[in-house]
């Protein structure tokens, strides 16, 4: 088996239907490529089996159903452990593969047999576009749609792993699961580095390990490996449906800086660490102010003032974000005044 496409899912069965349909469409454009889809359901109340049966005659699908919600991290690990592919690719249940994705992945694997980790670029798209069309969504409808890339990186390239940890490659620094294809067995060998009690916390992004589970394992597993950057997007990352959308600001200025700190412990070069950490704090004051205003729904209860605020004031962007914050307020006031007049 070449590839296990691993989908940790919870609710959103309509989106899962779209996701599986996109895989089915992509499968028709590739031959001599063995892949499977591993769906691990985290206690969804809807009948997910009905969705699976629509596709299991045409693509190989494995389904696991947890009796209760285990939390995202444990369910994601389960989806990878279900697989038998050399490589694993975790995607969200609302992500889409492009029609030529699997044939392009096959070519990448065939030409890079000694690579264990692949960064796979993606497009961003609001789910409102998908909802304009009949269900399940046909990815051929994306052909004339201009979409923004997650990464602006322009060339496919073999690199050392730490070269991928760079805002020029991705401002997310691998926190998005859909950006990584990896050697499945090697990844599973390092699951033990995670804090088991933290993984059991089912609240969305309540601690570092249940937020950055995939990136943490990847860094430990592949930090000394040759890696590959696929600059061409092979998936579409939809936004607008996710129930944790209110935590976006929290993830950017709390969890991502924590992830950069972790990378440093794993061997990220010092000057690159300073560069990446400073970049991750570019919206520091602006977002912290909004988290304070919005309160619990924005992740305030997970903020540690010493670790997440005071320590990060040592970086220039944290301080520079203060006048930038007031500058943005001034621009809004001027705009409102012009509109009133």
**CATH classification of the domain holding 31:** 3.90.550.10
Is residue 118, in this structure, part of any structural domain at all?
yes
Is residue 258, in this structure, part of any structural domain at all?
no
Q: Which of 47-61, 248-262, 301-315, 318-332 has the lowest mean pLDDT?
A: 318-332
- Do residue 237 and residue 278 come from a single domain? no
User: 80 with 90: CB under 8 angstroms?
Assistant: yes
- Do residue 203 and residue 328 come from a single domain? no
DSSP 140: G
- Look at the chain and report how many structural domains it folds into: 2
- Do residue 83 and residue 215 come from a single domain? yes
The tens digit of pLDDT for each residue in 14-44 reads 999 999 999 999 999 999 999 999 999 998 8
- Do residue 271 and residue 233 come from a single domain? no
User: 41 with 65: CB under 8 angstroms?
Assistant: yes
- Do residue 269 and residue 208 come from a single domain? no
The tens digit of pLDDT for each residue in 39-95 reads 999 988 888 999 999 999 999 999 999 999 999 999 999 999 999 999 999 999 999
- Do residue 235 and residue 309 come from a single domain? no
Per-residue model confidence (pLDDT) at position 144: 84
- Do residue 284 and residue 230 come from a single domain? no
Per-residue model confidence (pLDDT) at position 220: 98
Is residue 18, in this structure, part of any structural domain at all?
yes
Per-residue model confidence (pLDDT) at position 239: 85
Q: Average pLDDT of the chain? A: 93
Total Cβ atoms within 10 A of residue 233: 19
- Do residue 292 and residue 222 come from a single domain? no
Summarize the confidence of residues 104-120 as an average pLDDT. Answer: 97
Is residue 295, in this structure, part of any structural domain at all?
yes
Last residue of a domain, one of 208, 243, 278: 243
Q: State yes or no: pLDDT of 297 exceeds 80.
A: yes
- Do residue 199 and residue 143 come from a single domain? yes
Return the residue matching tokens 């089996």.
49
Q: State yes or no: pLDDT of 323 exceeds 70.
A: yes
Last residue of a domain, one of 197, 212, 243: 243
User: 214 with 148: CB under 8 angstroms?
Assistant: no
Per-residue model confidence (pLDDT) at position 240: 76
DSSP string covering 179-228: GEEEEHHHHHTTGGGS-HHHHT--STT-SHHHHSHHHHHHHHHHTTSEEE
Q: State yes or no: pLDDT of 229 exceeds 70.
A: yes
Last residue of a domain, one of 210, 243, 276: 243
For residue 180, what are the domain limits?
A: 3-243
- Do residue 207 and residue 67 come from a single domain? yes
Per-residue model confidence (pLDDT) at position 181: 98
- Do residue 238 and residue 274 come from a single domain? no
Q: State yes or no: pLDDT of 245 exceeds 80.
A: no
Per-residue model confidence (pLDDT) at position 340: 63
């Amino acid at each position: 088996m070449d590839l296990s496409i691993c989908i940790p899912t919870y609710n959103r069965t309509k989106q899962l239907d779209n996701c599986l349909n996109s895989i089915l469409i992509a499968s028709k454009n590739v031959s001599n490529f063995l892949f499977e889809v591993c769906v691990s359901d985290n206690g969804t109340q809807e009948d997910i089996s009905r969705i699976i049966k629509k596709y299991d005659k045409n693509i190989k699908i494995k389904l696991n159903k947890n009796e209760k919600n285990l939390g995202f991290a444990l369910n994601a690990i389960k989806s990878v452990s279900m697989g038998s592919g050399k490589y694993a690719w975790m995607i969200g249940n609302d992500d889409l593969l492009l029609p030529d994705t699997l044939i392009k992945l096959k070519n990448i694997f065939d030409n890079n047999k000694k690579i264990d980790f692949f960064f796979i670029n993606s497009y961003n798209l609001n789910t409102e576009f998908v909802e304009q069309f009949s269900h399940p969504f046909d990815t051929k409808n994306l052909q004339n749609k201009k979409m923004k890339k997650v990464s602006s990186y322009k060339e496919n390239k073999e690199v050392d792993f730490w070269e991928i940890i760079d805002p020029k490659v991705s401002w997310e620094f691998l926190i998005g699961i859909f950006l990584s294809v990896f050697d499945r067995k090697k990844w599973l060998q390092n699951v033990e580095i995670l804090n088991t009690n933290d993984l059991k916390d089912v609240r969305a992004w309540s601690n570092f390990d249940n937020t950055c589970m995939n990136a943490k394992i990847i860094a430990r597993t592949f930090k000394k490996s040759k890696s590959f950057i696929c600059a061409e997007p092979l998936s579409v990352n939809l936004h607008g449906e996710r129930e944790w959308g209110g935590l976006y600001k929290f993830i950017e200025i709390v969890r991502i800086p924590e992830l950069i700190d972790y990378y440093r412990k794993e061997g990220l070069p010092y000057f690159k660490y300073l560069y990446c950490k400073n970049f991750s704090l570019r919206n520091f004051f602006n977002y912290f102010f909004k988290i304070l205003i919005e309160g619990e729904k924005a992740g305030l209860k997970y903020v540690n003032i010493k670790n997440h605020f005071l320590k990060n004031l040592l970086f220039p962007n944290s301080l520079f974000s203060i006048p930038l914050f007031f500058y943005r307020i001034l621009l809004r006031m001027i705009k409102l005044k012009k509109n009133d007049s």
